[in-house]
């Protein structure tokens, strides 16, 4: 009751944020999962974390609807006919977005929006104004930065209008990714880079790599999560590799005994969440997205997340106070990191659950971006802020891990504002990163109001509102404020 009263009395929550917080408190007031004593102990220690999914999962964490099918067929449930012009197309999408759930209660994927809108676009100011209003509406109503749109890999009029509008609006929502292939025209990519250096988006996805993992049928959702179109992920639970390491002195014991034990506990916990959602809730039986075949249970999987690899490795490194011995710099330390991820990959691939239909019964590894309360723990497999090597060394080191994480991993580079004069420099870095096996890369300029926290975006100006005790429209501003205080986001090495 005290928790509920605290939510009701919280002076900085909007009405919508208050309602969602009360709903989560209600869900967490019950326990329906059969969690073992060993697993619960790891949860209590913070080694296993369910990322606030709640004690009784009643909707998938991430839903990736087939919006192209929606545009062709309309919706019986929403009483919408297929669009005939740009205004129809935008209106239909905005209506559907209100009815796509997720862990945040907002859609985490809103489609390859350039492809959805391009058939209705004309090269005129009216189309531009319509798209600009569309993006502004999303920013003001889907007030959660885990909302994610895609563009590309092809050049298109709609794609260029979207990039132009984002440069002008400088909104933090939606997050945006350009699917970048070898055939994407250079001029279009440079447009995207110019936009990223103004408003921290789009990020860049290695289209070849994702297409191979998902047979060409993928969308980038939430932070940078690769998932099947028409499907999604039931759940994402993460393992804090560093917190597990703090309990152990010997690396071989960590690798061969304690890590497998913890992973098996987490896999059992993931299974519990998936089975409850599939068999004990009505979501996949009666939701209109299922009935109208905009999503299909056969395209769903689950995600096994990890973070804190660098700190886990450094815990076992001798003389780790010397940078040359640490993760990202030492060959021995880097080899330890690979051993940990390969051990986890082996364990996860040896575990099967029938309901993970889209991934042949296996969970997908995910390099988790962290949460605002994480202290001294780097996201996923990233090199810690403050330890970053020169950019070419950083790219080569980071890329080694990207092949293990089909459902998402990314690295972020902060550039001095002078780089805006030479976007081709950033393009060369992205191309080199992809050639070295990097899956996903983000770039922004140090003078942006919109900043990339980990996988999501927040406005500095909104964080400043919260710091003054004022209310902020977008709920992820609170997460960004915590990340700035706990994870040194503004101290990333600036690249020139």
Confidence of residue 444 (pLDDT cuts 50, 70, 90): very high
Mean pLDDT computed over 79-104:
97
User: Residue 361: what pLDDT?
Assistant: 98
User: Residue 373: what pLDDT?
Assistant: 85
Residue-wise pLDDT tens digits, 323-338:
999 999 999 999 999 9
User: Residue 480: what pLDDT?
Assistant: 83
DSSP-derived 3-state class of residue 402 = helix
In angstroms, the CA 195 to CA 171 distance is 11
Confidence of residue 436 (pLDDT cuts 50, 70, 90): very high
Percent of the chain with pLDDT over 70: 100
Mean pLDDT computed over 141-168:
97
User: Residue 204: what pLDDT?
Assistant: 98
Confidence of residue 21 (pLDDT cuts 50, 70, 90): very high
pLDDT tops 80 at residue 88: yes
User: Residue 489: what pLDDT?
Assistant: 84
Residue-wise pLDDT tens digits, 225-283:
999 999 999 999 999 999 999 999 999 999 999 999 999 999 999 999 999 999 999 99
pTM for the structure as a whole: 0.95
User: Residue 484: what pLDDT?
Assistant: 79
User: Residue 353: what pLDDT?
Assistant: 98
pLDDT tops 80 at residue 404: yes
Q: How far is CA 181 from the centre of its chain?
A: 20
Mark out the alpha helices in 10-151 (DSSP H runs). Answer: 15-27, 37-45, 67-73, 86-97, 113-117, 125-141
Residue-wise pLDDT tens digits, 114-138:
999 999 999 999 999 999 999 999 9
pLDDT tops 80 at residue 79: yes
Mean pLDDT computed over 78-95:
98
User: Residue 185: what pLDDT?
Assistant: 98
Give how far Cα 175 sits from Cα of 37, 232, 447, 450, Å: 39, 18, 18, 11
pLDDT tops 90 at residue 474: no
Q: What is the mean pLDDT of the chain?
A: 95
- Give yes or no for a contact between 402 and 439, defined as CB atoms under 8 angstroms apart: yes
pLDDT tops 90 at residue 10: yes
DSSP-derived 3-state class of residue 335 = helix
pLDDT tops 80 at residue 475: no
Strands 175-180 and 148-151: parallel
Confidence of residue 32 (pLDDT cuts 50, 70, 90): very high
375 or 440, which is more confident: 440
Task: Pick the closest to residue 247 from 106, 88, 46, 490 (CA basis).
Answer: 46
- Per-residue tokens: 282: 């009505």
In angstroms, the CA 228 to CA 360 distance is 13
Q: How far is CA 417 from the centre of its chain?
A: 26
Confidence of residue 153 (pLDDT cuts 50, 70, 90): very high
Confidence of residue 295 (pLDDT cuts 50, 70, 90): very high
pLDDT tops 80 at residue 23: yes
pLDDT tops 80 at residue 1: no
Least confident range of 152-161, 245-254, 448-457: 448-457
Helix (H) or strand (E) holding 466: helix 460-467
User: Residue 232: what pLDDT?
Assistant: 98
Q: Phi, psi (5° rounding) for residue 402? A: -70, -30
Confidence of residue 216 (pLDDT cuts 50, 70, 90): confident
Residue-wise pLDDT tens digits, 169-214:
999 999 999 999 999 999 999 999 999 999 999 999 999 999 999 9
Please give the angle made by the CA atoms of 246, 247 and 251, to the nearest 5 degrees: 80
pLDDT tops 80 at residue 339: yes
Give how far Cα 205 sits from Cα of 189, 307, 410, Å: 12, 21, 9
User: Residue 467: what pLDDT?
Assistant: 87
User: Residue 130: what pLDDT?
Assistant: 98
- Per-residue tokens: 413: 């580079």
In angstroms, the CA 128 to CA 161 distance is 6
User: Residue 38: what pLDDT?
Assistant: 97
């Amino acid at each position: 009751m005290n928790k509920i009263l605290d939510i009701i009395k919280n002076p900085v929550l909007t009405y919508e944020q208050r309602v969602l917080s009360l709903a989560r408190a209600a869900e967490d007031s019950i326990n329906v999962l059969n969690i073992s004593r060993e697993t619960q102990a790891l949860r209590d220690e913070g080694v296993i974390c369910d990322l606030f999914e709640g004690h009784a999962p009643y909707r998938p964490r991430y839903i990736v609807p087939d919006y192209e099918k929606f545009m062709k067929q309309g919706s019986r449930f929403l009483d919408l006919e297929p669009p005939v012009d740009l205004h129809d197309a935008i209106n239909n999408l905005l209506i559907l977005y209100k009815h796509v759930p997720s862990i945040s209660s907002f859609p985490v994927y809103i489609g390859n929006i350039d492809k959805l809108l391009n058939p209705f676009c004309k090269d005129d100011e009216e189309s531009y104004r319509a798209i600009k209003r569309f993006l502004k509406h999303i920013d003001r109503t889907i007030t959660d930065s885990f909302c994610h749109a895609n563009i590309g890999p092809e050049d298109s009029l709609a794609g260029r209008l979207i990039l132009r509008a984002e440069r002008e609006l400088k909104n933090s929502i939606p997050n945006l990714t350009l699917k970048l292939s070898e055939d994407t025209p250079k001029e279009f990519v440079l447009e995207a880079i110019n936009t990223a250096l103004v408003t921290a988006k789009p990020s860049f996805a290695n289209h070849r790599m994702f297409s191979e993992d998902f047979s060409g049928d993928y969308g980038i959702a939430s932070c940078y999560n690769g998932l099947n179109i028409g499907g999604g992920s039931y759940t994402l639970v993460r393992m804090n590799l560093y917190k597990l390491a703090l309990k152990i002195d010997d690396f071989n014991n960590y690798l061969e005994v304690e890590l497998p034990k913890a992973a098996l506990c987490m896999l059992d916990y993931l299974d519990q969440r998936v089975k409850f959602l599939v068999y004990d809730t009505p979501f996949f039986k009666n939701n209109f997205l299922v009935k109208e075949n905009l999503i299909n249970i056969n395209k769903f999987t689950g995600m096994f997340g990890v973070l804190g690899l660098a700190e886990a490795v450094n815990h076992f490194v001798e003389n780790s106070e010397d940078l040359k011995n640490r993760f990202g710099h030492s060959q021995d330390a880097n080899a330890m990191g690979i051993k940990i991820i390969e051990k986890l990959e082996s364990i996860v691939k040896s575990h099967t659950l029938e309901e993970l239909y889209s991934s042949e019964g296996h969970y997908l590894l995910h390099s988790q971006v962290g949460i605002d309360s994480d202290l001294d723990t780097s996201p996923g497999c990233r090199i810690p802020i403050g330890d970053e090597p020169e950019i070419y060394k950083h790219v080569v080191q980071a890329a080694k891990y990207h092949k293990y994480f089909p459902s998402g991993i990314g690295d972020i580079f902060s550039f001095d504002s002078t780089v805006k004069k030479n976007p081709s420099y950033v393009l060369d870095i992205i191309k080199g990163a992809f050639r070295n096996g990097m899956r996903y890369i983000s770039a922004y300029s140090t003078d942006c109001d919109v900043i990339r926290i980990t996988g999501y975006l927040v406005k500095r100006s909104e964080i400043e509102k919260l710091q003054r005790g004022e209310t902020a429209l977008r709920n992820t501003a609170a997460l960004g404020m915590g990340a700035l205080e706990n994870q040194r986001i503004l101290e990333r090495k600036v690249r020139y």
